[in-house]
Each structure stands twice: as C-alpha cells, then as structure tokens.
Copies of this chain bind each other. A is one copy, B any other.
Amino acid sequence: MTSRARLADDAARLIALDWGTSALRAYLLGDDGVVLDERSEPWGIMQLPEGEFVAAFREVTGRWLAAAPELRALASGMVGSAQGWVEAPYCAAPAGVRELARSLVSVADEPLSIVPGVSQSGERPDVMRGEETQIVGVVERHPELAKDSLLVLPGTHSKWVHVREGRAERLTTFLTGELFAVLSTSSILGRFARDAANPPDAAAATDAFARGVLAARASAAGVTPLLFSVRALVLAGKLAAESSLEYLSGLLVGDELRCGLAAGEVPRALVGDAVLCARYTAAFGLFGIHGVPMVEHTAPAGLWAIAVHANLIRPTPRRVVA
C-alpha cells in the first residue's frame, strides 16, 4: 500500500480547481490529465467569508501538496472574478486554449494560477467565467466539435456558445437557473409549492415540466405574459399546487430554448451536470430535437489542457524502482 501511495504521489502532475459561486471542486491529476483523486466542498465564492480563500485553498490542497510540494494548481471559475480571490481580467473572444494559457493570473504566495473568463464586445456584450475552461475540455475530448459547433451549457446562468476552430467565438447568457431560484424562493409563484405537503410524483413532475416547455414554445412574444399562469392555473384548478414549480421550470427552460433556437442552428452538445442536462434533453425533445449528446466533467480536462499550454505541469519524475 505504501508503494502504491508513493506511486500515486509521484504520478501527480497538477491540481485542478473548478471554483465557482457555490462550490469548490478539486482534482489531483496525473499523466494525461487522468483524475487520481478528487474532493468537493461547499466553499463557493459566495459561501466563503472574505479573506477565507487562502484557508480554503490550503485545506483542500494540503494533503496533495504535502506529498508533492512542487505541484502547481490551476483554477477556473468565479474565483477569478472581481468578487473572487484575485481578479483575472477577461480574455476577449474568440478565445481558446492558447489565448487562455497566455492570460493566466498568478496568486501571490501560493502555487496557484487562475484562468480568465471570456468577454464578448460589440452590440451584445456578454461574459463567462468557468465555461471557457469547460469548452476547452470539450474540444480536447471531442475534436469533432472544435471546427464549428453550438454548445449549450445549462446552469444558473446558461450559456449558448458558438465554437469555431477550437475557440469560443460568440455567446449568449440566459438567466434561467437564477430566475427559477429567485422566483421559486422569493416570489408569489413559489408559494403554492412551498406550502404543498408533498412534492409531486415523478410522472406528475415530468408532465408539468413538459406542459411549461410547450406553453413557452408556443408563446412567440416571450415568457413574461405566461409567468403569472404558474399561480393562476393552480387557482383555476388546472394545475396541481405541488407541480407548479416544475411547470415554472418548464416555462423558463422552454423560453431559453425558443430564443436560443430562433436562429435555426441545432446544438451539437449539452455540457455540464447530468441531471440538469437530462432536463434540457427532455425539453429539446419537445422542440423536436433529439440525440444531442451530453458531455460531463469537462473542467479537469480543460484545466489540464490550459496548464500544458502554460507549462504549469510538473515534469514526469523518474520512477523509483523498488
């Protein structure tokens, strides 16, 4: 066991951190970016008190760095925002692995660099942080998506990103996840579901979600005239109170798809959390779009590729022959 553990330590090449608003996910990567170990903590930048970044970083990486002190760490996500630890100024789109690797920001006194986000200027300014690294991971693992493809990254802030020649070229952000969160917890639309004794069963939840998607799909003017129907349908006895938030989720996801698909381009991949991507897959099906592949866990692969381009990887040590 000791020799195996030593082998694992020797093989460690990089610490990769996916450090977002709500969570910190840390990976110990070996040759070719293979995941040797991982750890997840609820230490997103909104959860950490100011000044706690150092402590969180040392706690989550301490054991790995103790075993291999020359390891470097690379982080992506909101940790590089103005509200994060050290601000990493946006890299202008189009941006891929080379542009990102050239623009890393080092954190003083720690063996850590941070990947910048990507900004789009012009008529429709937009930004992303964290997703640019996931996209690098997608392109690394699925080179067929590099040339010219539309990727959808569902989330608190869903991103629809056009990739061309391996670089994120254009993006649009939809506030879908955050709208759902604030409306369900803080508005009158969440009242019935909050007061319901039980959650809906799976079939009722699926039906209510689909009904919301179809209603949004049919509303060419947009979703806002439909929002109050989350409440009014329950009052009219036409929607079960406990299913009303599934219907709201369907309205919001359906509206995102209606807008995102308006230009006629079909997404080539759904990138992100499997449960959330499954919800989007169901919604795409209701728009007649089937078979969009899901790609998960792309942040470590993206961080590995950026680190390789930035020469952050610890050299392969000579193996100790026992």
Q: Which residues of B have CB within 8 Å of A235?
A: 90, 119, 125, 127
Distance A256 CA – B182 CA, assembled complex (angstroms)? 20
Q: Which residues of B have CB within 8 Å of A83?
A: 191
User: Number of copies of this chain in the oligomer?
Assistant: 2
User: Which of A34-42, A95-103, A171-179 is the contact stretch?
Assistant: A171-179
Distance A157 CA – B83 CA, assembled complex (angstroms)? 33
Q: A259-B221, A262-B221 are in contact. Are A125 and B238 (CB under 8 A)?
A: yes
Distance A69 CA – B178 CA, assembled complex (angstroms)? 53
Tell me which residues from 177 to 194 in chain A have a Cβ below 8 Å from any Cβ of chain B. Answer: 178-179, 182-183, 185-189, 191
Distance A126 CA – B189 CA, assembled complex (angstroms)? 13
Tell me which residues from 87 to 108 in chain A have a Cβ below 8 Å from any Cβ of chain B. Answer: 90
Task: Considering the complex, give the chain B residue whose CB is closest to the CB of A178.
Answer: B187
In the assembled complex, the CB of A187 is this many whole angstroms from the nearest CB of chain B, namely 5
Q: A229-B125, A255-B224 are in contact. Are A236 and B119 (CB under 8 A)?
A: yes
Q: A178-B188, A187-B175, A228-B175 are in contact. Are A222 and B125 (CB under 8 A)?
A: no
Task: Give the size range of A's interface with the partner.
Answer: 35 or more
* CB <8 Å contact, B174 and A224: yes
* CB <8 Å contact, A236 and B121: yes
* CB <8 Å contact, B186 and A229: no
| A258 proximal to B (CB < 8 A) | yes
* CB <8 Å contact, B224 and A259: yes
* CB <8 Å contact, A258 and B221: yes
Instruction: For the A-B complex with A127-B231, A172-B225 known, give 5 more contacts whose Cβ atoms are closer than 8 Å.
Output: A125-B235, A126-B232, A127-B232, A175-B224, A222-B224
A-B contact pairs, 7 of them (CB 8 A): A125-B235, A157-B188, A175-B187, A178-B187, A179-B227, A221-B262, A222-B222
